Amino acid sequence: MLGNKIPPVIMVCFFALVMAVIAHYSVIDFTAFIFYSAIILLVIGCVFCIAGVVSFRLANTTVDPRKPELASKLVTTGIYRISRNPMYVGFAFILTAWGVWLTSLWALLCVIAFIGYLTWFQIIPEERKLQKIFGKDYSDYKLQVKRWL
């Protein structure tokens, strides 16, 4: 009954036209999604950073990552129950927010480079010094809480 009455090329053109009309009237604008995603990531990053600083201040210990030998107390409460480096996690979230805002996959890949750099050239040397200062307490803490998340 139906048979081959309409040539396939005509059907391709028909469906292409239907698709164009649908696309024209149903454009998905990702601008709002990108904006809100970047804002959410930025807020999460700021919360991690601020919580880390506040925890150190409450413990009356140094916040300066360049001088871990000045640490007077091993902070393991608050945000430090989630991450051993919440301020660095916060920075990574902030950079991720920036990469999302820029809508660039290449920019987002820089976050991975940042995490690698910080791990090798900041965190590992810090951990060596903290291990010397706090000994077994720090070893136990490392077993309970991850370096990043």
Q: Measuring CA to CA, which residue among 45, 80, 73, 41 is closest to residue 59?
A: 73
pTM of the full structure = 0.83
Query: Which letter does DSSP use for residue 145 in this model?
Result: S
Domain boundaries, the chain: 29-144
Beta strands in the chain (DSSP E): none
Residue range 2-32, pLDDT digits in tens: 566 777 788 888 888 988 888 888 877 788 8
Residue range 56-92, pLDDT digits in tens: 999 999 998 888 888 999 999 999 999 999 999 999 9
Using the CB atoms, write b or e for 27-41: b if 16+ within 10 Å.
Answer: eeeeeeeeeeebeeb
Q: Is residue 91 within 8 Å of 117, Cβ to Cβ?
A: no
Q: How far apart are CA 108 and CA 90, in angstroms?
A: 15
